[in-house]
């Protein structure tokens, strides 16, 4: 019998991969904070629930590092100015590098899970 997926990731796991999550979401189309947060929820069935307290500091950190570029635009419904984030060239390269790191890490960890009792 398999256990159901947890409703949300361990907070430390989420924190450790927040940049990768945000860079992944910003692939393709520019998005503002509320859109990013909703897309993270919708695409993962609510598993990634990005709180404002971690979302905006992370976006600003990525902007400062030059991986995303923020620009104020008018929001569609309210007409309020919202800051729309676009992945930069260096952000795209960073995303690819982090994807590779994550896949390598995951593959290597999987090897440990497949170890039988008594070692190799």
The site for other proteins (CB under 8 A) is made up of 32-34, 51-54, 56-58, 60-61, 63-67, 69, 71-72, 75-83, 88, 90
Q: Distance of CA 23 to CAs 26, 40, 89, 115, Å?
A: 5, 11, 12, 33
In the complex, minimum distance from the CB of residue 92 to other proteins, in angstroms, rounded to a whole number = 12
C-alpha 47: how far from chain center: 12
In the complex, minimum distance from the CB of residue 97 to other proteins, in angstroms, rounded to a whole number = 14
Which is nearer to other proteins, 12 or 78 (by Cβ)?
78
In the complex, minimum distance from the CB of residue 118 to other proteins, in angstroms, rounded to a whole number = 46
Which is nearer to other proteins, 9 or 70 (by Cβ)?
70
Q: Distance of CA 36 to CAs 2, 21, 83, Å?
A: 31, 10, 11
Report the Cα–Cα distance between both ends of the chain, in Å, rounded: 27
Which is nearer to other proteins, 72 or 105 (by Cβ)?
72
Which is nearer to other proteins, 35 or 44 (by Cβ)?
35
Locate tokens 């509320």: which residue?
34
């Amino acid at each position: 019998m398999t256990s159901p997926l947890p409703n949300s990731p361990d907070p430390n796991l989420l924190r450790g991969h927040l940049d990768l999550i945000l860079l992944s979401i910003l692939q393709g189309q520019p998005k503002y904070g509320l859109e990013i947060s909703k897309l993270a929820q919708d695409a993962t069935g609510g598993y990634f629930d990005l709180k404002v307290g971690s979302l905006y500091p992370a976006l600003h950190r990525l902007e400062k590092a030059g991986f995303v570029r923020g620009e104020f635009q008018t929001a569609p419904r309210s007409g309020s100015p919202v800051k729309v984030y676009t992945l930069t060239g260096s952000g795209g390269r960073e995303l690819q590098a982090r994807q590779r790191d994550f896949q390598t890490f995951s593959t290597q960890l999987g090897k440990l899970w497949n170890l039988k009792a008594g070692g190799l």
